[in-house]
Amino acid sequence: MSESQQSTISKVSLKGKHFLTISEFSNEEIELLIDKAVELKSKGTEYKPLSGKILAMIFEKNSTRTRMSFEAGMLQLGGHAIFMNTQDSQLGRGETIADTAQVLSQYVNAIMIRTHSHDRIEELSRHSDVPVVNGLTDLAHPCQALADILTLKEKKGKVKGLKMAYVGDGNNVANSLMVICAKLGINFAIAAPKNYFPDEKIIKKCEQIADQTGCEILITEDPVQAVKDADAVYADVWTSMGQEEENEQRLKDFNGYQINEALVSHAKADYLFMHCLPAHREEEVSSGVIDGPNSVVFQQAGNRLHAQKALLVELLK
């Protein structure tokens, strides 16, 4: 990073902003978060800048990594996190998301929500007086994307000019990953059956961003074309939460899209295998790949903690 870039990033402030999608953040803001994550990871758990701060965590979808990483992150930063689900709150009895936002704003310093429709988090943010963080919606998973790029930077030393290949459903993970790659100048390729391509509006937006940052966006039905010369190969489950009734059809549709030893032979020899987890071994990925020497899935999962700590510090400092 040049001195001028460092100077620009040092002047960036995210205080009080909502974090709903990667699209709403500038290149400089994303780079700030990645650099802050590297810094906080090196500081360990003695740094307590969020003493007295409280994060409300609303879960309308089950979670392992999102809950543990946000809760542990707030504790490590000196703050506190409060878990809520619809069964244990008035949301489950019909209280509106708007009313919930206004009530929680009286008690906490930030709200993280993991929910279904993206419209729901947008409504929450409109009525909240404190920052709202997207822990996952059906459209986007921006916290995962931050952790992915942090991992890529740690393993490769740089990210601009690398190639990220995603094979599988063009879902929320793919949407956020494609956007962050376009913004940071990372070439992005996705292979999926045509009916499972990413959101068309997001594709067009990413192509416009890529023209400015000097990278390429490739949308294809051919896994080999996507993976060819890739620096990182990424998978997610073919059937996400809430799509269980589609599972049988999806297994048929994604036949031939498994990331296995034959497919990754087309990537660079030092490629990284990435997965947001949980994984279905022998479905979207072979055990030989996910448990192999190129896999960084657990470092990637661990980096959810550090990326989100950076996000919370920058939103609340």
CATH, residue 173? 3.40.50.1370
Q: Is residue 3 part of a domain?
A: no
Cβ neighbours of residue 234 under 8 Å, at least 6 residues apart? 148, 164, 165, 166, 167, 177, 273, 274, 275
167-189 pLDDT, tens digit each: 999 999 999 999 999 999 999 99
Residues 238 and 272 in one domain: yes
> For 87-133, how does the pLDDT look when each residue is reduced to its tens digit (9 = 90+)?
888 887 889 999 999 999 999 999 999 999 999 999 999 999 999 99
Q: Which of 114, 250, 275, 306 is catalytic?
A: 114
Q: Please confirm, yes or no, whether 120 is among the known catalytic residues.
A: no
* Confidence label for 4 from pLDDT (cuts 50, 70 and 90): very low
Residue 7 belongs to a domain: no
Q: What is the pTM of this model?
A: 0.94
pLDDT bracket for residue 10 (50, 70, 90) = low
280 is known as an active-site residue = no
d(CA 84, CA 113): 9
Tell me: is residue 65 an annotated ligand-binding position.
yes
Within-domain flag for 106 = yes
Report if residue 22 sits inside a domain.
Answer: no
Using alpha carbons, select from 21, 34, 71 the residue that is nearest to residue 50.
71
CA-atom Rg of the chain in angstroms: 19
Is residue 212 marked as binding? no
Quick check: is 172 in a domain? yes
Residues 288 and 312 in one domain: no
Asked if residue 136 belongs to a domain, the reply is: yes
CB 130 within 8 A of CB 110: yes
197 and 280 both lie in a single domain: yes
**pLDDT tens per residue across span 283-315:** 999 999 999 999 999 999 999 999 999 999 999
Q: How far is CA 303 from CA 38, 136, 295, 299, 310, in A?
A: 10, 16, 14, 6, 11
Told to judge if 181 belongs to the known catalytic residues of this protein, a careful annotator would answer no
Residues 294 and 177 in one domain: yes
Q: Do 168 and 294 reside in the same domain of the chain?
A: yes
- Is 144 considered catalytic here? yes
Of the candidates 71, 75, 96, the residue with the CA atom closest to the CA atom of residue 86: 96
What is the count of structural domains for the chain?
A: 2
In a domain, 92, yes or no: yes
Instruction: Write down the catalytic residue from 231, 276, 300, 306.
Output: 276
Give a yes or no: residue 103 inside a domain: yes
Question: Does the annotation place 276 within a ligand binding site?
Answer: yes
- Reading the block at residue 39, the tokens are 């810094």
Angle between helices 297-316 and 142-156 (to 10 degrees): 120
Domain extent at residue 53? 27-140+304-316
Asked if 302 contacts 66 with a C-beta cutoff of 8 angstroms, the reply is: no
| Catalytic site residue from 144, 258, 300, 308 | 144
What's the pLDDT tens digit per position in 187-196? Answer: 999 999 999 9
d(CA 138, CA 131): 20
Q: Do 126 and 159 fall into the same domain? A: no
Tell me: do 213 and 176 sit in the same domain: yes
Q: Look up 129 and say whether it is catalytic.
A: no
User: Do 110 and 178 have their domain in common?
Assistant: no
